[in-house]
Amino acid sequence: MAKIIVVTSGKGGVGKTTSSAAIGTGIAMRGFKTVIIDFDIGLRNLDLIMGCERRVVYDFVNVINGEANLKQAMIKDKRIDTLFILPASQTRDKDALSKEGVERILNELAQEFDYIICDSPAGIESGAMMALYFADEAVVVTNPEVSSVRDSDRILGMLSSKSRRAEQGLPGIKEHLLLTRYNPERVLKGEMLSVEDVGEILAIKLLGVIPESQAVLNASNSGTPVILDEDSDAGQAYLDTVARLLGEEVPFRFLNVEKKGLLKRIFGG
């Protein structure tokens, strides 16, 4: 039975799509058959991050409306053969999704895939609700600043009250905290909340900490999930995150300020 994981945050621009792409790719790299669904109807982004924007013919809404079948709409990744993307429609809006339609497609995908990653849109409206409704697990992407933490708290409330598991009285959605854009130097200066601060406020298990990194922007611009950039700190942090999501014990890295060596000081870090 497939595991449905929603990547959500409430707030926009915190790294949901980047994280969805990285986590989905990371799981697929482990040999699990994985599909990433873009729920951000009308603001299609996942295909850009995954570098498959030119191969989008049919989309999620077409499949829901019966205008295309899943095989036609899904895009197979060129780098990892167990990875698929189901892109969002750029021309429709979020009301194009219906609970019944989404359920039917998730059920169909569940026959074939091990992991279904739902990349949620920002906000708490129907699009975001649709993305989280059927989830078994949730990765709550949060930046170390107060407004993002507040919105994550809001989404956590939704997860525990508005999801299928909550409505049917099943065991709750397993919640994970993914802290992105973490900058230990700024935390030390008091400009950012620390891992401990965020953890205390949200009170859920920490899945990973992704350092603020130039590699993320480079990866996005080149259409390569940052997890494939294994030399970068962000790539390594996502690899650790995926390992933890799959149940492995991995120590946290990139939490403290790195001491710069003499060479680094001279040539720049």
Partner 1 sequence: MSDHSFELKGSLFPLSVLYCQDLSAAAVKTQLQQKLAQAPAFFYRAPVVINVESVTQAPDFEAIAEVFKELELVLVGVCGASAELKKVAQAAGLAALQLSKSKTPAKETKEIEAKTEAATAAPVMETKVVEQNIRSGQQIYAKGADLVIRGTVGAGAEVIADGNIHIYGTLRGKAIAGAAGDNQKRVFCHKLEAELISIAGSYWLSDSLQGEYWGKSACIGLQDDKLVLADLL
Binding residues for partner 1 (CB under 8 A)? 124, 150-151, 153-154, 156-158, 160-161, 201, 203
Please state, in angstroms and rounded to a whole number, the distance separating the CA atoms of residues 181 and 209.
8
Q: Compare residues 114 and 153 and give the one whose CB is closer to partner 1.
A: 153
- Helix, strand or coil, per DSSP, at residue 35: strand
Q: Which is nearer to partner 1, 65 or 161 (CB)?
A: 161
Separation of alpha carbons 226 and 265, rounded Å: 26
The string of DSSP letters for 19-77 reads HHHHHHHHHHHTT--EEEEE--TTS--HHHHHT-GGG--S-HHHHHTTSS-HHHH-EE-
3-state secondary structure of 85: strand
Distance of CA 195 to the CA centre of its chain: 19
Helices (H), ranges, 116-213: 126-133, 146-161, 164-167, 184-188, 195-202
CA-based radius of gyration for the chain: 18
Residue with smaller CB distance to partner 1, 53 or 153: 153
**Nearest distance from C-beta of residue 98 to partner 1, angstroms:** 24
Sequence-distant (6+) residues with CB within 8 A of 43 are 88, 90, 121
Q: Whose Cβ is closer to partner 1: residue 17's or residue 148's?
A: 148
- The nearest distance, CB 139 to partner 1, in angstroms, is 17
Q: Which CB, 170 or 217, lies closer to partner 1?
A: 170
* Cβ nearer to partner 1, comparing 90 with 160: 160
Buried b (16+ CB within 10 A) or exposed e, 74-85: bbebeebebbbb
CB of residue 123 to partner 1, shortest distance in Å: 12
